[in-house]
Each structure stands twice: as C-alpha cells, then as structure tokens.
C-alpha cells in the first residue's frame, strides 16, 4: 500500500503546535493528509509548523486557535477545520494537560481545567466530527491516554487518562461500523523527560529502571502508531488501547 495512503483525507490534531501533537501532525501530513493543527497560546510555533508541513509534504494545512477547555471553542475548531480543508475524517484527540496535585489539595478550578481539556474536549470533538465520518462511510478517531492511567498518584490526570480509555471503548461501539475508535497510552516520553522532572525529579530514572525495554518511548514511535491506525488494514481493530511503554506498566515483585 502507498506510504501516502491518506491522500485526500483531512485530519485534525488537537493541541498540536508542539511536542507530541506536532510530531503526530507531521506524520499524518507525510502520509498524505491535509492537517488542521490546533494551538491556544503558541501562535508562532503553529505557523512555523504549518509552513514546514507545506514545504516538506505538500498539500494544504492550517493552524486554528482554540482553548480546549472551552466546549464552544472546541466545536468551533472542528467546524473551522471542516470549512477550511473539508470534513474531518481523522481526528486525533491529543489535548492532555498534566497535574498531579493531590485531590485533597486541589481546587475545583484545576480539576475542571484538566478534566475538560482532556475528556470533555475529546467528547465534544468526536460528537461534532462523527456525523460526517459516518456519512462518508469511513473515519478514524484516535485518543491519547497515558501511562498515568495505570498509576494512583497522579490524581486528576490519572482519572482523565483512564476516562480516555473508557470513552474510546464506548465510542467504538456507538460509531461502528463506519468509524474505528482506538487509543494510545504512551508511558513517559523521552523528549518530555524534563517536563515531568519539574513535578517529580526522580520519575524518569525510576521509570527507565522499571521498564523491560530499558528506555523511554519517543514521540515518533507514538506518531507512527497513530498513522498506522488510519490504515485500512486496521479496519477490524476498534476499541483498543495500545500501550507504548516498553512494558513499564507491568507490576513485578
């Protein structure tokens, strides 16, 4: 099958001006898709990314501003992407701000912010994008969970990333057979090691020590799986969560 099997397809990747989202957007563009990337504060980075995708992969790509904590803005994001590039056929729900503030110390505003940008945003984008996918007879929704879904000391982030697995399974049932819905749960990503160190300085060292593969996953490895899930040879896979953590999640005595 052609490496550009996403020709004439439109993809939307939330929170994708930088980090993992940007790498996923680039991988989809390399596969032939026209990609709408989403940013909130990183306008310059978003425009540089779009210009680079046009230069390196051809096609039309666009950057759209939206606060993923705001349901009205999220609905507008999907609608603007569809109006600009065409109906969204590949949706990657990558938005996922982090917090490990203990529940007993967390105020309601922080709880809602993390929950809404992760879970409510995925619910809203999927609800808006799904009708066009079903009408076209084909669509892909890919949700990003995290290794934190298997922990019990990352508070609201654990709750949100666990919910991403559940919403994936529910949507897979509701949107079949036209649309497949799958989830990727990366462990700690190597390029983001410094970010988690700000919260827990020893986390990366402990994560590597506990990982059978002996290293952390890289962004490109996650992005490649996201693109592969869009391939028609994966038509029979839906409702699945794919851990990308080198076996870290397995409890060992």
Which residues are identified as catalytic? Answer: 157
Q: For residues 124 and 70, what is the distance between their CA atoms, to the nearest angstrom?
A: 10
Distance from the first to the final alpha carbon of the chain: 44
Give me the helix-helix angle, 108-115 and 155-175, nearest 10°.
40
Q: For residues 30 and 16, what is the distance between their CA atoms, to the nearest angstrom?
A: 15
Give DSSP secondary structure letters for 177-240: TTEEEEEEEE-SBGGGHHHHHTT-TTHHHHHHHT-TTSS-B-HHHHHHHHHHTTSGGGTT--S-
Q: 62, 162 in Cβ contact below 8 A?
A: no
Closest CA to 225 of 143, 134, 126: 143
């Amino acid at each position: 099958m052609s490496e550009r099997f996403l020709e004439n397809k439109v993809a939307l990747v939330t929170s994708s001006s930088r980090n993992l989202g940007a790498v996923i957007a680039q991988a989809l563009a390399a596969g032939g898709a026209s990609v709408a990337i989403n940013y909130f504060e990183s306008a310059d980075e978003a425009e540089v990314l779009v210009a680079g995708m046009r230069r390196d992969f051809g096609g039309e790509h666009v950057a759209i501003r939206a606060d993923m904590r705001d349901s009205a803005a999220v609905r507008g994001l999907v609608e603007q992407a569809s109006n600009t590039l065409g109906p969204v056929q590949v949706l990657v729900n990558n938005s996922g701000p982090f917090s490990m503030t203990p529940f007993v110390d967390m105020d309601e505003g922080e709880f809602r912010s993390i929950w809404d940008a992760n879970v409510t945003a995925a619910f809203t984008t999927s609800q808006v994008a799904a009708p066009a996918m079903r009408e076209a007879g084909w669509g892909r929704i890919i949700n990003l969970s995290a290794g934190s879904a298997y922990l019990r000391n990352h508070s609201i982030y654990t709750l949100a990333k666990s919910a991403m697995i559940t919403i994936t399974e529910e949507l897979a049932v509701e949107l079949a057979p036209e649309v497949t819905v799958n989830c990727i749960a990366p462990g700690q990503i190597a390029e983001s090691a410094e970010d988690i160190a700000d919260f827990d300085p020893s986390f990366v060292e402990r994560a590597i020590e506990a990982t059978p593969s002996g290293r952390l996953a890289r962004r490109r490895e996650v992005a490649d799986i996201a693109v592969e899930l869009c391939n028609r040879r994966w038509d029979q896979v839906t409702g699945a969560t794919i851990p990308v953590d080198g076996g870290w999640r397995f409890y060992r005595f």
